[in-house]
Amino acid sequence: MAKGSSQHASGVPQQATAPHRVVVIVDEGSNPFELGVATELFGLRRPEFDRPWYDFALAAADPSVRMHNGMFTLSGVAGLDVVGGADTVIVPNRPDPLTTPTPAVLDAVRDAAARGARLVSFCTGAFTLAAAGVLDGRRATTHWRWARAFADRHPRVLLQPDVLFVADGNVHTAAGSAAALDLGLRLIRSDHGAEVANAVSRRLVFAAHRDGGQRQFVERPVPAVPATSLGGVLAWAQERLDQPLTVADLARRAAVSPATLHRRFQEQLGTTPLAWLTAERVALACRLLERGESGLGRVARLSGLGTSANLRARLRRETGLSPSAYRRRFTVQGG
């Protein structure tokens, strides 16, 4: 069960008084975009949710930190001692990841790893985790532009350069700045369930699921004609997930060939039409379970996953939980 919750005698999870504590470490030269992503995801107040949100803090070796190659200074930052009480630690990245992180920062990351805190890196932050030695023997990713340099510098890390993010135990790495949103939403989903994660994604106006890799973002010539938005066909499909939709059905709705539809999905969502459909159906199944929908067969039918066996397999692959375990963990009180 996620930290920050406890089990009531009724079997419905009850939120504990102490929220999950997220600490973002900033270092000399850190990139402000990823700091903004972390603040948006974990630091903003969320009064729309009937539960405690994250306890959020920044930490640095120096209370005054020059950000983004000295373009501006972040002052009044707490010391690294606050990292010791964090449940999740987001490590710093920088435009030049080959610059060695501050020794005190590396010590704080190692201490957090030793006590079992969840470690997170965005973009080139994987270099910080690797420099601290916590990625040796683990799967990880980083920005495609720095993949070769990372592999040369840290050969003991099992680099996966073609994915948006990687979760290996309690260590999570995102491939790029925008992929930080993908990973952050995945963490929120793990902590609070699909309903909450989807609500946060809607507030961000960002897709809750981008299951494609980052290969499609490697530099290539810009197409002369921009791709047509998929918004209409996505909304149409989301209203019919319980029906036996196929890629051909989506292509007909979009008035394009299946090949063209596939290309637009890769360009705009970083995934395939079939993978998107499956992810949307799993997300719907999660919401139904959270709302207390009874009967796995009914949940499977309503979400378009077909059978209880397929529901179990897909849910375990996506969340690591069985349907019954997911229901116990994320059932909405009073639902």
Q: Specify the pLDDT at position 222.
A: 35
Verify that 169 and 237 share a domain, yes or no: no
Residue 57, classed as helix, strand or coil, is strand
Q: In this predicted structure, what is the pLDDT of residue 326?
A: 85
Which of these three, 151, 175, 198, is where a domain ends?
A: 198
**Claim to verify: residue 40 and residue 173 sit in the same structural domain:** yes
Asked whether residue 191 falls in the same domain as residue 266, the answer is no
Q: Are residues 155 and 44 in the same domain?
A: yes
pLDDT value at residue 42: 94
State how far the alpha carbon of 281 is from the alpha carbons of 96, 126, 267, 302, in Å.
40, 32, 21, 9
The domain tally of the chain equals: 2
In this structure, what CATH number is given to the domain that contains residue 260?
Answer: 1.10.10.60
Is 15 part of any domain? yes
Cα–Cα distance measured from residue 12 to residue 207, given in angstroms and rounded to the nearest whole number: 29
| Residue 9 within any structural domain of the chain | yes
> Both tokens of residue 335?
């639902």
> What is the pLDDT, as a whole number, of residue 40?
92
Q: What is the pLDDT at residue 5? A: 42
**Residues 114 and 247 grouped into a single domain:** no
Does residue 320 lie in a domain region?
Answer: yes
Identify the CATH number of the domain in which residue 156 sits.
3.40.50.880
- Asked if residue 22 belongs to a domain, the reply is yes
Same domain, 97 and 155: yes
Global confidence as pTM: 0.67
Element housing 14 (H / E): strand 13-15
Question: 101 and 25 share a domain?
Answer: yes
How many other C-beta atoms lie within 10 A of the C-beta of residue 45? 8
User: Which of 176, 198, 220 is the last residue in one of the domains?
Assistant: 198
Q: DSSP H helical segments within the chain, as ranges?
A: 32-38, 103-114, 126-131, 147-153, 179-192, 194-204, 231-238, 247-254, 258-268, 273-290, 296-303, 308-319, 323-330
Give the residues across from 66 on adjacent strands: 73
The answer on 97 and 242 residing in a single domain is: no
**Per-residue model confidence as pLDDT tens digits over 19-52:** 899 999 998 888 888 899 999 999 988 888 878 8
Asked if residue 82 and residue 193 are part of one domain, the reply reads yes
Same structural domain for residues 155 and 79? yes
Cβ proximity of 78 and 26 under 8 Å: no
For residues 263, 264, 265, 268, the Cα torsion angle rounded to the nearest 10 degrees is 130
Instruction: Find, among 128, 166, 46, 127, the residue nearest to 20 by Cα.
Output: 46
**Structure confidence at residue 31 (pLDDT):** 83
Tell me if 29 is assigned to some domain: yes
Spans in the chain with pLDDT lower than 70: 1-17, 69-70, 205-228, 332-335
The length of the chain in residues reads 335
pLDDT value at residue 300: 94
Q: Are 11 and 150 in the same domain?
A: yes
Q: Would 209 be classed as within a structural domain?
A: no
Q: Are residues 194 and 269 in the same domain?
A: no
Within 8 A by CB and 6+ apart from 306, the residues are: 300
Which range of residues forms the domain containing residue 248?
230-330
For 80-121, what is each residue's pLDDT tens digit? 999 999 999 999 988 788 888 889 999 999 999 999 999 999
Residue 125 gets which letter from DSSP? G
Residue 52 is predicted with a pLDDT of 86
Does a structural domain hold residue 217?
no
Residue 140 has a pLDDT of 94
In Å, what is the CA distance from 297 to each residue of 67, 293, 330, 332?
Answer: 53, 10, 19, 20
Q: Is residue 130 part of a domain?
A: yes
Average pLDDT, whole number, for the chain? Answer: 83
